[in-house]
């Protein structure tokens, strides 16, 4: 750290905070302290200039009011660049490359970014990709975390990513469905209680056998249905990773449902699609096989608000709102960052009736 380029004059009538502010102001404007450079810590100022801790605190408040310096949690005070916006802090969003291009993730992260910036914090994001050997590439994340990051929001992090984030002494919030989050603070998009409420809608329809067509594994859905005496068969669609994986989900869903439902004597009472893209392909399969909805099979789909599949029969659906969820996640993060109670809880999924589930949906 550079030595402080001025001394305190005990005989000067100007009080100590103002003397400190004047000294650092001159040092900044003369170029002694460069733009983006960290100033001495309060402890270093106290030790070198023999003042109380209150003096540098008050001095920095003066300089922050002049937009000359900014304060970073766990970093200290930095010289601001010319014309730079004053941010309260920096929030880092962490996403996995496996979900790139997803409607839900895109809208969700956009809503998080908008709310974080509106609250006066900067928002940057990093995507965890994979190396040629299949292992996660954390180089960009590590580089970001070496800078002044005040809070991390991880969206659907996998196990290696959560364990990586747990290494850093930075407050973090993980938004997940069912996976373990290695001790990070967690907010879940869909609870067992929510699913129990949904099964009450299904129960009156006389459903005994359900085909659960899924992309992301959701075992708790099958568990809750099983508790209500429903036999569940899980059909997992596994797309290739990388660019074009969303199209691959639809294509593989189409093929998997065509193969599964070829034997018309073994059609389930209900097909529950847990993903919009799986539903797109699965509904095409029903059309190709000329399986009627709801006469031959009932259909229920989990859908994102604004992105529900279109079908000749109106679809009963469990609707999730990525815009509202993103705002609620941002509020939860800001509440933790600012030490206050959050103002909004994550909205519950909404059951929307449709002709594809005539009895249970009404």
**Strand ranges inside 166-252, DSSP E:** 172-176, 185-188, 209-214, 231-236
Q: What is the pLDDT of residues 260-313, one digit of tens each?
A: 999 888 899 999 998 899 999 999 999 999 999 999 999 999 999 989 899 999
| Residue recorded with tokens 């609870």 | 191
The whole-model pTM stands at 0.74
In degrees and rounded to multiples of 5, residue 210 shows phi and psi of -120, 135
Contacts of 298 (CB under 8 A, 6+ apart): 205, 207, 269, 270, 271, 316, 356, 357, 358, 360
| Residue recorded with tokens 């450079």 | 37
Tallying the residues shown for the chain, one arrives at 362
The pLDDT score that the predictor gives to residue 360 is 44
The pLDDT score that the predictor gives to residue 80 is 86
The number of beta carbons lying within 10 Å of the beta carbon of residue 35 is 12
Tokens representing 35 are: 């733009």
Enumerate domains of the chain plus CATH numbers: 16-79 (1.10.10.10), 90-188 (3.40.50.2300), 192-320+348-352 (3.40.50.2300)
Contacts of 76 (CB under 8 A, 6+ apart): 38, 39, 41, 42
Q: What is the pLDDT of residues 97-117, one digit of tens each?
A: 877 778 898 899 999 999 999
- From the list 94, 159, 162, 160, the residue with the least C-alpha distance to 126 is 94
Nearest-10 crossing angle of helices 42-49, 54-65: 120
Helix (H) or strand (E) holding 104: helix 103-118
Distance CA 48, CA 202 (A): 72
Tokens representing 74 are: 């766990």
310 secondary structure, DSSP code: P
pLDDT-flagged residues of the chain (< 50): 360-362
**Strand ranges inside 178-269, DSSP E:** 185-188, 209-214, 231-236
């Amino acid at each position: 750290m550079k030595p402080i380029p001025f001394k305190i004059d005990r005989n000067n009538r100007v009080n100590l905070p103002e003397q400190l502010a004047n000294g650092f102001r001159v040092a900044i404007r003369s170029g002694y302290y460069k733009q983006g450079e960290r100033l001495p810590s309060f402890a270093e100022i106290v030790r070198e200039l023999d003042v109380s801790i209150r003096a540098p605190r008050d001095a920095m408040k003066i300089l922050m009011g002049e937009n000359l310096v900014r304060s970073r949690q766990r970093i200290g005070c930095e010289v601001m660049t010319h014309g730079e916006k004053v941010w309260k802090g920096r929030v880092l969003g962490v996403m996995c490359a496996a979900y790139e291009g997803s409607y839900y993730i895109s809208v969700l992260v956009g809503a998080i970014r908008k709310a974080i910036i509106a609250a006066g914090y900067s928002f940057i994001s990093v995507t965890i990709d994979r190396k040629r050997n299949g292992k996660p590439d954390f180089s960009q994340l590590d580089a970001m975390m070496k800078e002044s990051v005040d809070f991390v929001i991880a969206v659907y992090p996998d196990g290696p990513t959560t364990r990586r984030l747990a290494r850093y002494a930075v407050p973090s919030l993980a938004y997940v469905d069912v996976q373990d989050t290695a001790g990070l603070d967690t907010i879940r998009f869909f609870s067992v209680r929510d699913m129990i409420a949904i099964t009450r809608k299904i129960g009156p329809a006389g459903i005994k056998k359900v085909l659960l067509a899924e992309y992301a594994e959701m075992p708790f859905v099958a568990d809750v249905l099983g508790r209500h005496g429903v036999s569940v068969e899980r059909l997992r669609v596994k797309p290739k990773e990388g660019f074009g994986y969303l199209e691959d989900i639809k294509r593989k869903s189409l093929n998997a449902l065509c193969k599964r439902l070829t034997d018309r004597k073994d059609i389930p009472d209900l097909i529950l699609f847990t993903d919009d893209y799986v539903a797109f392909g699965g509904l095409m399969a029903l059309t190709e096989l000329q399986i009627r909805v709801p006469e031959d099979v009932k259909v229920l789909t989990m859908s994102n608000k604004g992105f529900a599949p279109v079908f000749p029969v109106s679809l009963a659906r469990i609707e999730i709102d990525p815009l509202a969820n993103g705002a609620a996640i941002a509020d939860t993060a800001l509440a933790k960052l600012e030490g206050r109670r959050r103002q909004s809880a994550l909205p519950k999924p909404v059951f929307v009736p449709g002709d594809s589930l005539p009895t249970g949906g009404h």
